Structure 1
């Protein structure tokens, strides 16, 4: 059965967007997904399903909206696509904890750099359905802005690496 990675937007351990990962796994299992498991408490779900990427996205978004009472965006990638995202990293020599992938539903727009502000020397590159950003000094104090990334969800390269490996297990 094919493996997929589902990445939830605006989900965290506490505060707004709180969703216990045990509830996410239960939700996925009740939707019929197999081998549902999470990685760190920030909305990373690995599952197996014979459904398409679009079907998985629709089922999870509907279940999450019912749970949260508001829309929760979900980006879905196959195991092979996650490996491709890693292979396409334009910053392989940079620190993986300072390089993020912003997962999008669609290809970045042609003008994806419009409105970008990189006062700390941050670098950005477009991928297939991703944006890659390297935060040289780290994300904590960065004033970096990239409007094209607003509809996506970001994970650092360490997390992407682990999710890609989990999807292949």
Structure 2
């Protein structure tokens, strides 16, 4: 049975999408996923399943809506997908020196090159972006606190919805999904 990372969009961030992680873990257990465990409070978990990622995403989106009234997107990545994300990182120095300032925005699809270029043209600060496998790497050179490069700006430019995790979390999820 493969291990998968489950990433919820906009959960327990800025007072929106409140979902206690104990309740999320109980939901995962109730859906018969193997050995579910949550990571942090922002809607990250690891499960065991042989189901396809798209199937798990749809199942969890429906279950979250039915059980908690929470309408949110779910992003599922297996260990191989997470390894590919780690390997394609163009910001190795930041990953090593300032991993909390490097985000991976997991997307529902591949970012189109013209959309990434249009996004880059809109960046006025020290941030940098680079497309990855169904993801976008975002390096916040001066930190995220004062940046104008928000998730909404990025999603609007790319025409794709996503959910982000910092580099430390992505590494931890890859470790937890390892066979």
| TM class by smaller structure | over 0.9
How far the C-alpha of 1:35 sits from its partner, in A, is 0.7
Listed as ranges, the gaps of 5+ residues in structure 1 are none
Matches within 5 A, 1:126-141: 126-141=131-146
Compared CA separation, residues 14 and 115, structure 1 to 2 (3 A): closer
**Structure-2 residue corresponding to 1:152:** 162
Question: Over residues 53-102 of structure 1, what are the superposed CA-to-partner deviations in whole Å (9 max), with x where a residue is unaligned?
Answer: 11111111111111342421001100111111111111011121111000
**Structure-2 residue corresponding to 1:77:** 77
Aligned-residue Cα RMSD (Å) equals 1.7
User: Aligned partners of 2:57 and 2:19: how far apart in 1?
Assistant: 17
The two structures have a TM-score, normalised by structure 2, of 0.88
Listed as ranges, the gaps of 5+ residues in structure 2 are none
Identify which range, 150-159 or 109-118, moves more after superposition: 109-118
Q: How many residues align?
A: 169
User: Aligned partners of 2:14 and 2:22: how far apart in 1?
Assistant: 14
The two structures have a TM-score, normalised by structure 1, of 0.93
User: Aligned partners of 2:112 and 2:172: how far apart in 1?
Assistant: 28
Relative to its length, the structure with more helix (as a share) is: 2
Runs of 4+ in structure 1 displaced over 3 angstroms?
none
